[in-house]
Amino acid sequence: MMRHPPLASTAALLALASLLAAGCGDPETQTQVPTDKLASGDVSITHDASGLTFSRGETPLLRLPADAFEWGTVAAIEDLNYDPYRLYVSHPLYDPPEITWIHPDRMEVTDKAEKSLTLTLSYPGGATGTLTFEAQASGRFAASWKPVDDKTSIAYFRLRPRASAEEGFYGLGEYFDQVNHRGKVRAMQIEIDNGVESGYNEAHVPVPFLTGTTGWGLFVASERPGVFAVAAGEADPTLIEAAFGTAPASADGLQFHLFGAAHPLDVTRLYYDVTGNPRLPARWALGPWVWRDENKDQAEFFDDVNTIRDLDLATTAMWIDRPYATAVNTFDFLPSQFPDAQAMIDEAHGLGFRMALWHTPYLDEMSQADDTKDLREYAEAQGYYPSAVGLLLNKWGRPVDLTNPDAYAWWQSLIEKYTAMGIEGFKLDYAEDVVPGLTTARNVWTFADGSDERTQHAGFQRLYHGVYSETLPEEGGFLLCRGGTFGDQTNVSVIWPGDLDATFHKHRESVKEGGESYLAVGGLPASIVAGLSLGPSGFPFFGADTGGYKHSPPDKEVFTRWFEQTAFSTVMQIGTSTNTVAWDETAGPGFDGEMLDWYRFYTRLHLRLFPYLWTYAKNLETDGRPIARPLGLAYPEMAIHPDDVYLLGDNLLVAPVTTRGATSREVPFPPGRWLDYWNGEAHEGGTTATVDAPLGQIPVFVREGGIVPMLRPTIDAMAPTTDPARVDSYATTAGILYVRVAAGPPADFTVFDGKKLHAERAKGTLSLSTTDGDELHFGTQFEVIASGAAPTKVQADGAPLPEAASLAALETSESGWYFDPAVSGTLHVRVGPKSHTIEATFSE
């Protein structure tokens, strides 16, 4: 049973204490309360009689009164699963211990230096603790909160800051129900959830890092079982609770960080400064790339790669899912299925595809390597398994103990058998067996380094991903991972959300199918939420199975709406559990030539967006801003938090259709002016409009003043090819850069290679300029949408440009212009390499 004073009583006591400390009555006898302040750039922590305040400038971001620092004490620490999530979300299998919650009745500054502030916390019963803040760099503080005696048996640490009652909350990893965590309880580990069809809470990527829309971040650096209750109680809409089951390691205390930035999108940069920059995937890994759930054989693979090229379907990579080896993780290819795997990989490379494989950290009982040595027996003999193994959540066996340096090196040497053949990426599945416990009892694991499941439920993910990450090429490679945790972004290239439904269902939506009912994991709506949750959590690249996995195949509408959306996302990977491919009209209900044409258009559009997306990818190192940005986080002043509207970079507003049968949808427009990508219609910021969205057309808008650099319309691949006449690859030539512009106020865009673009329009004059970059130096073709009527004059560098007879004629010229009335008037202007300044004059 938990015992805690009612919040109202606590608040009243704190208010009374503050008044008493400050003095009242006769001004001549009033006592002045000292204030201590620690600054880091424009953010600060201030201590006074009311507690601690974290501020940016004069604006308070978080309040931390005395009851923000609670310990959950028990009669004695036992060998139990101290899971704080079950203190908020009960389960009949989990009977929590009897807990007494205590918080300091006094907080006193006992040490102050230029870059640190230490307080002594006095708890009831004589227990004491210390709280030390260190100003590490501008905008961030590191904090250490520890007990200093053993007078109490501390089972839980609970941090309880107060935020604004109106703001939204983002981050915390991958979740599927909504992007704003207000009112939610989020576990930091896998938990039983008997309601959802999968049977668990789908917490594959929990990250104890929360961002508020007023511009603060809270990161709790604990691998212990944890939970965030984000304004989840009705009594106080400002209260955030972050609880961690620290027993028996409570003496080590709790480490956390506070971040402050002028804009909430900038908070993630401060998190990266503490946990490491995200590993960028290889360029080709942004996609599109294709896979089958069960590859039949080498002949089918050859047929797929050749069909893709014959049908002119832009595709950058293929991965082979299981089965393909003698058994799971034999680090070979089954000869009867893939008789010449090296030739298969080489042919794929020749056609401009890169190659990846599905993998796990287990050894199948049939794991017989090509040298006839049984890998499982060898691992056993060498002591490469954990010495104690809990409940296994896979069907192959125990994971290799990657905390053992020898086992780690051995496993890596096996991986390199594949990388030596030209495999440059892995889809890493499973490895979620190490959970703290599903009941009060521990799910006991013991590893070579002395750790156990209470920390390795998080730490094992880093090791699993790290052992593969270190084998990848220096220029990127590719890891597609189902799980992850804080700091793991240094290993993981892309997160995929596991087995989503091939439907339009939302997470936990009640579904009736075949006479049975279940709560859905979720389909396309859940995928969008997951990707938007991960960006502010430190994982900027996300790629769901386009089309879904469970309850496959998707029908024509689901598949189309899904590839429309992933075309305007960071990563486009395509495949389902029923081996659905777009060019097979028997693969999914309603698949036909019309859908294939849409698929061809959107896969190529995604690849064409590479310069735009890669620019934001490279910018992560300096600004840290998520590439796909929830609307409520990008524009907190709107005070709305839609789950299905987002920004892709600064200049594209994306509003996918996620409802069956819908051919229109409402779109809320952020400040500024936004032009429809397809027809050029203008929408004013601060309004909501219903826009057309027929099947095959996703609502997308370009910010007025926005610049979107793109590859040429014929691009097929990113990697080298031995057949450039058949495969148009970026590796052959970067080619002329196409630039879509919604001209308005002066705007600049610096592409990833240093190429500079400028556009502005005012008083009947359109001005454009371009300078070459290191890679993109073959010329520029501007596409200025919503330009109205044709210009009266177009010149470059002071000399008139010739008018082309058609767009096709323009694209075979070195320079010139052409006006197309489509998209509310599109002015196409083409110039050659080097720097150019363009001016077009319009009749106003």
pLDDT 10s digits, 515-525: 889 999 999 99
Mean pLDDT to the nearest integer, 343-372:
85
Does residue 23 surpass a pLDDT of 70?
no
The predicted structure's pLDDT at residue 227 = 98
User: 3-class SS at 142?
Assistant: strand
User: 3-class SS at 549?
Assistant: coil
Half-sphere exposure of 357 (CA within 13 A, CB side): 25
Could you tell me if residue 192 is inside a domain? no
Does residue 697 surpass a pLDDT of 60?
yes
Could you tell me if residue 733 is inside a domain? yes
Q: Which residues contact 264 (CB under 8 A, 6 or more apart)?
A: 170, 211, 212, 213, 214, 215, 216, 536, 633, 636
Q: Do 538 and 629 share a domain, yes or no?
A: yes
Cis peptide before 668 (omega within 30 of 0): no
CA 508 to chain centre: 21
Domain total in the chain: 3
Q: Which two tokens stand for residue 721?
A: 């090819």
Mean pLDDT to the nearest integer, 61-67:
98
Does residue 676 surpass a pLDDT of 80?
yes
Q: How far is residue 570's CA from residue 649's CA, in Å, rounded to a whole number? A: 10
The predicted structure's pLDDT at residue 1 = 30
Q: Report the DSSP beta bridge partners of residue 60.
A: 55
Task: Report yes or no on whether pTM surpasses 0.85.
Answer: yes
Which DSSP state fits 544?
Answer: -
The last residue of one of the domains, among 588, 606, 633, is 633
Could you tell me if residue 167 is inside a domain? no
Q: Which residues contact 707 (CB under 8 A, 6 or more apart)?
A: 651, 739, 740, 741, 747, 748, 749, 757, 759
425 pLDDT tier (thresholds 50, 70, 90): very high
The predicted structure's pLDDT at residue 417 = 96
CATH number at residue 96: 2.60.220
Q: How far is residue 479's CA from residue 402's CA, in Å, rounded to a whole number? A: 18
Backbone angles phi, psi at 480, to 5 degrees: -105, 110
CATH number at residue 672: 2.60.40.1180
CB 818 within 8 A of CB 797: no
* pLDDT higher at 399 or 364: 399
3-state helix, strand and coil shares in percent for the chain, rounded to the nearest 5: 20, 30, 50
Taking the CA atoms of the chain, what radius of gyration do you get in angstroms? 29
Q: Which two tokens stand for residue 438?
A: 């599903």
Angle (CA) 502 508 513, round 5°: 55
Q: Do 586 and 691 share a domain, yes or no?
A: no
247 residue type, one letter: A
Does residue 13 surpass a pLDDT of 80?
no
Q: How far is residue 181's CA from residue 529's CA, in Å, rounded to a whole number? A: 11
Q: Do 404 and 452 share a domain, yes or no?
A: yes
Could you tell me if residue 62 is inside a domain? no
For 22, counting Cβ atoms within 10 Å of its Cβ (0-12 exposed, 13-18 middle, 19+ buried), the class is middle
The predicted structure's pLDDT at residue 131 = 98
Q: How far is residue 354's CA from residue 748's CA, in Å, rounded to a whole number? A: 34
Which DSSP state fits 200?
Answer: B
CB 209 within 8 A of CB 265: no
Tell me the pLDDT tens digit for each residue of 241-272: 999 999 999 999 999 999 999 999 999 999 99
Q: How far is residue 110's CA from residue 122's CA, in Å, rounded to a whole number? A: 12
Angle (CA) 12 15 17, round 5°: 110
Cα pseudo-dihedral 7, 13, 18, 24, rounded to 10: 140
Does residue 5 surpass a pLDDT of 50?
no
The last residue of one of the domains, among 633, 660, 684, is 633
Q: Do 548 and 462 share a domain, yes or no?
A: yes
Q: Do 659 and 576 share a domain, yes or no?
A: no
29 pLDDT tier (thresholds 50, 70, 90): very low
CB 776 within 8 A of CB 611: yes
Backbone angles phi, psi at 37, to 5 degrees: -135, 135
Tell me which residue has tokens 């220096």: 474
Q: How far is residue 712's CA from residue 607's CA, in Å, rounded to a whole number? A: 9
Tell me the pLDDT tens digit for each residue of 603-643: 999 999 999 999 999 999 999 999 999 999 999 999 999 99
One-character DSSP codes across 228-284: EEES-SSS-TTBEEEEEE-TT-GGG-EEEEEEE-SSGGGHHHHHHHHH-PPPPPPGG
Tell me the pLDDT tens digit for each residue of 130-179: 999 999 999 999 999 999 987 789 999 999 999 999 999 999 999 999 99
Tell me the pLDDT tens digit for each residue of 137-151: 999 999 999 999 877
Q: Which two tokens stand for residue 518?
A: 């279940």
The predicted structure's pLDDT at residue 385 = 97
Could you tell me if residue 718 is inside a domain? yes
Q: Do 491 and 558 share a domain, yes or no?
A: yes
Percentage above 90 pLDDT, the chain: 90
19 pLDDT tier (thresholds 50, 70, 90): very low
One-character DSSP codes across 621-684: TTT---SEEEHHHH-GGG----SS-EEETTTEEE----STT-SEEEEEPPSSEEEETTT--EEE
Tell me the pLDDT tens digit for each residue of 719-749: 999 999 999 999 999 999 999 999 999 999 9
Could you tell me if residue 124 is inside a domain? yes
3-state secondary structure 325-353: CCCCCCCCCCCCCCCCHHHHHHHHHHCCC
What burial letters (b/e) apply to 199-222, b meaning 16+ CB within 10 Å?
A: ebbbbbbbbbbbbbbbbbbbbbbb
Does residue 14 surpass a pLDDT of 80?
no
Tell me the pLDDT tens digit for each residue of 750-783: 999 999 999 999 989 999 999 999 999 999 999 9
Half-sphere exposure of 324 (CA within 13 A, CB side): 26
Does residue 30 surpass a pLDDT of 60?
no
Query: H-helix or E-strand containing 469?
Result: helix 453-469
The last residue of one of the domains, among 605, 633, 661, is 633
Could you tell me if residue 111 is inside a domain? yes
Cis peptide before 6 (omega within 30 of 0): no
Tell me the pLDDT tens digit for each residue of 445-486: 999 999 999 999 999 999 999 999 999 988 779 999 999 999
Question: Helices 341-350 and 298-310, interaxial angle, to 10°?
Answer: 10
Q: Do 412 and 506 share a domain, yes or no?
A: yes
Query: H-helix or E-strand containing 747?
Result: strand 747-750
The predicted structure's pLDDT at residue 35 = 80
Mean pLDDT to the nearest integer, 89-98:
94
Q: How far is CA 479 from CA 182, 359, 464, in A?
A: 32, 10, 11
CATH number at residue 615: 3.20.20.80
The predicted structure's pLDDT at residue 294 = 87
Q: Do 772 and 713 share a domain, yes or no?
A: yes
Does residue 16 surpass a pLDDT of 90?
no
Q: Do 457 and 508 share a domain, yes or no?
A: yes
Q: Report the DSSP beta bridge partners of residue 63.
A: 53, 162
Compute the mean pLDDT over every residue in the chain, rounded to the nearest whole number.
Answer: 93
Q: Report the DSSP beta bridge partners of residue 43.
A: 40, 56
Order of strands, edge to edge, in the sheet holding 184-187? 2-3, 99-102, 69-74, 153-159, 240-245, 226-230, 184-187
Q: How far is residue 658's CA from residue 463's CA, in Å, rounded to a whole number? A: 37
The predicted structure's pLDDT at residue 303 = 96
CB 392 within 8 A of CB 364: no
Does residue 372 surpass a pLDDT of 80?
no
Does residue 20 surpass a pLDDT of 50?
no
Q: Do 230 and 343 share a domain, yes or no?
A: no
Does residue 648 surpass a pLDDT of 50?
yes
Tell me the pLDDT tens digit for each residue of 405-415: 999 999 999 99
Q: Which two tokens stand for residue 463?
A: 């090791």
CB 772 within 8 A of CB 834: yes
Backbone angles phi, psi at 415, to 5 degrees: -55, -40
Q: Do 616 and 714 share a domain, yes or no?
A: no
Q: Which residues contact 311 (CB under 8 A, 6 or more apart)?
A: 583, 596, 600
Could you tell me if residue 240 is inside a domain? yes
Q: Do 434 and 341 share a domain, yes or no?
A: yes
525 residue type, one letter: P
Give the pairing of strands 780-784 and 737-741. parallel
Tell me which residue has tokens 């709305």: 640
* Host domain of residue 628: 283-633
The predicted structure's pLDDT at residue 373 = 60
Question: Helices 593-608 and 556-567, interaxial angle, to 10°?
Answer: 10
Tell me the pLDDT tens digit for each residue of 377-404: 999 999 999 999 999 999 999 999 999 9
Give the pairing of strands 317-320 and 289-292. parallel
34 pLDDT tier (thresholds 50, 70, 90): low
